[in-house]
Structure 1
Amino acid sequence: MSGDTFFRKWLEGNLSDEEISSEGPKVFKDDKEFATFKKLIDGSQGLKIPASQGKEDAWSKLVDKIESNPSKAEPGAVVVPFYKKPIFKYLSIAASLAIIFIAYATFFTNNPTTYKTAKSEIKTITMPDNSLITLNADSKLSFKSGNWIDNRSVSLEGEAFFEVKKGTKFVVNSEIGKVTVLGTSFNVKARKEGYEVSCFTGEVSVSLFNDKSEKVLSNGFATKIMNQKLSEPFTFKPTNIAGWKSGEYYFDKQPLIDVFEEFDRQFDVTLKITTDISGRIYSGYFNKVEMEKALELICLPMDLQYEIQDNTIIIY
C-alpha cells in the first residue's frame, strides 16, 4: 500500500487496527514519527460528520475545496496536492488537516434542525435519543443534532409535549425561560398569551431569564407566569393540559380572547371579532371534530353570535 493511500484511508477511518499496525511502520521514517501520528489520528476519531454525509464524501469535498483554492503562489510555481507531498511532511500536514476537519465538521453539525407546524397541524418528532416531542399547531422547534447525546437542548416557540428518555440533562429554551430535566414527560406552552409548564412524570426545573427564582415541579404540578414571575406550583388535570394531542381543548377561567386564538390556531380560519370581549373569562371545552359545533360551545355560553362566510368567521 502506497504512503498516499495509507494516509488517506487512515484519516477516513477505513483501516483496521491490524492494517495500521502492519503498514504504518513501513510508511514513516521511524517508530517515533509513526507513534506521534497515530496519537493525533486516534484523538480525532470522535469528530462527527452529519448523518447525511459519509466520511469519504466529507474527505473528497474537503480535498476538492483545498485544491481548488490553493494558497497564493509565485508566478510559475507548481501547486502540489497536499496528500502527495513527501512523507516526512505528513505530520505537519496532519496537524493542519485536523484543524480544518474540526472546523468543517463543526460547521455542518452546528447547523440547527428545525421543525414547524402550520395552523391545524400536529406533528410528533423522534429525537436522536428516541425522546418524543409532539408539536401543537403553529409551533416551532429547533435543535443541533451534531452532539445531541451530550448536549440535549432544544428551542421552542409555541407549545409541545415532551417524553424524554433518561440520559444527560435535557433543556427546553424559549424566549421567556427554560425547563431542565433528566428523564420525564411534561408540557411546555410558550406563546405570547402566556408561559406555562406542567409536569406529568418525574421532575422538572423551571426558571425565567428575567428572574432568578426557580420552581421545581414533581408529577401532577404546574407553574405559569403571574405578575412577571413564576407562580407557586399548583395541581392540574392532565386531560386539560395535554388534551390537545388528541384534538381536545379545555379552558378553566381563561381570557376569552385566548380561547378564540386557540380556535383560530386549530381550525386555520380568519376570525373577525366585532364586539369588545376584553376582560371576559371563559371556562369550557371544544374539539376539532366539527368546527361549527366548537363555535357553539364557545359562543353560546358567552351570549355571542357567529356567522360563517367561506373561511372567515364573524363574531358579534
Structure 2
Amino acid sequence: MQENYLAKWLSGELSEKELAEFKKSAEYASYQKLKEVSSTLKAPEFDVDQALTQLKEERIGNAPKVIALNPFKKFLRVAAAIAVLIAGSYFYISTLDESVTTQFAERSEVILPDNSEIILNAGSRVSFSEKNWDEKRNVTLKGEAFFKVAKGKKFTVSTTHGTVAVLGTQFNVENREGFFEVTCFEGLVSVAYNNIETKLPAGSSFMVINGKIVDTTAPNTSQPTWVNNESSFERIPLGYVFAELERQFNIEVNSQNVDRNLLFTGTFSNTDLNMALKSISTPSRINFKLEGDNVLFYAKKTP
C-alpha cells in the first residue's frame, strides 16, 4: 500500500482503483473500525480558515503572493481527522470491558480489582469494567460461577434471568438457558427476578426452571460441589443433567426414548467420564453407549 493512501482516504480523494487496492490491505479493517468509532464522537471545534489567517499574520507577514496555502489547508484537515481517530481509538479501547470465558471441560479463576474472587465453571463467561470498578462493582454472567466477594459497596451480578446483589458474601449463580439458580453459602443475598426481590440467608437457594420458581432444599456444603469436581442435582430434569455432562467433558450427548423431563437426583464426577455415565444411567434406569466424543442414552427397552 502506498504511504499516502491513508491521508487520501481520510480526505475522500482516493480513486476507485486506489480505494479497491486500499481495502485489500491488512490495515484497512483497523482504520475502518477506528473511523466508525470516531464518527460517534464530537471533535473539538476547529476553524481552519481562522487558524490559517492567524498563522499568515504571525508567520508569513509579507511573504510573496505566489506561496500556495491550499495544500497546507488540506494537510491541516487530514491532521485533524487523524487526531480524532487517535482520540476515538483511545476512547474505544479504554471503555472495553474485561472478560473471561471458559470452554467446555475448562474452569478459570478471576481476581477482581477489589480482590473479590470468581471461580468460573465450564462453558461460562464473566465481564466487568475495571476502569469504573470503584464506582460500580458489577459483573455480567453467562453460565455458572462461584463468588467470594470482598466487603465494600454493593456488588451485583447481572444475568439474563435476574440480578443478584450483595455487600460481602459467598454465593453461587447459575444462569443457563431455561435455568436460573442462586445459592447463598455465607452472608445475605438479594435476588431480583421478574421485579420481585427475594432475600436469601446463608444455607438457602432460589431456583427457576423454564420460567417457573421451584422449591429447593438447603445446601449441605460450604461451597458448590462443582468446585470439588462433582456436579450435584436435586430433582432436576434429565435434559439439564445431560447439558452439564456435555460442558464438563466436552462431549456430545444424545438420547433415544428417554424422557428428558424426568427429575434426577444424584451426583456425577467431573473427572471420570465412565463413572459419570454410570452415575446418571443407573438411578435413571437407562442405558448408555459411548463412542469417541459421543454418548447415547437410551431406554432399556430400546433395541
TM-score, normalised to structure 2's length?
0.67
Q: Which whole-Å CA distance do the structure 2 matches of 1:173 and 1:148 have between them?
A: 15
Distance 1:127 1:295, change over 3 A: same
* Residue in 1 that maps onto 2:109: 124
Verify the 8 A CA contact 1:184 1:201 in the aligned structure 2.
yes
- The yes-or-no answer on 1:302 pairing with 2:297 is no
Q: Any gaps of 5 or more consecutive residues in structure 1?
A: 1-69, 82-96
Distance 1:314 1:216, change over 3 A: same
Q: 2:70 aligns with which of 75, 87, 93?
A: 75
Deviation at 1:172, TM superposition (A): 0.4
Aligned Cα root-mean-square deviation (Å): 2.9
* Residue in 2 that maps onto 1:237: 220
* Residue in 1 that maps onto 2:124: 139
Q: Any gaps of 5 or more consecutive residues in structure 2?
A: 1-45, 50-68, 77-82, 299-303
TM-score, normalised to structure 1's length?
0.65
Q: Which amino acid aligns with 1:141?
A: V
- The yes-or-no answer on 1:225 pairing with 2:208 is yes
**How big is each residue's C-alpha offset from its partner over 1:76-123, in whole Å with a ceiling of 9 and x where there is no partner?**
557999xxxxxxxxxxxxxxx9xx999776533320111110001111
Q: Which amino acid aligns with 2:162?
A: G
Deviation at 1:207, TM superposition (A): 0.2
Deviation at 1:226, TM superposition (A): 5.9
Distance 1:306 1:104, change over 3 A: closer
Deviation at 1:146, TM superposition (A): 0.8
- The yes-or-no answer on 1:269 pairing with 2:247 is no
Distance 1:309 1:229, change over 3 A: closer
Deviation at 1:174, TM superposition (A): 0.6
Q: Which whole-Å CA distance do the structure 1 matches of 2:169 and 2:87 have between them?
A: 34
Verify the 8 A CA contact 1:109 1:145 in the aligned structure 2.
no
Q: Which amino acid aligns with 1:178?
A: T
* Residue in 2 that maps onto 1:172: 157
Verify the 8 A CA contact 1:269 1:312 in the aligned structure 2.
yes
Deviation at 1:243, TM superposition (A): 0.6
* Residue in 1 that maps onto 2:197: 214
Q: Which amino acid aligns with 1:236?
A: P
Q: 1:109 aligns with which of 80, 89, 94?
A: 94
Could you say what secondary structure the match of 1:300 adopts? helix
Q: Which whole-Å CA distance do the structure 2 matches of 1:160 and 1:216 have between them?
A: 19
What count of residue pairs does the alignment treat as equivalent? 228
Could you say what secondary structure the match of 2:195 adopts? strand
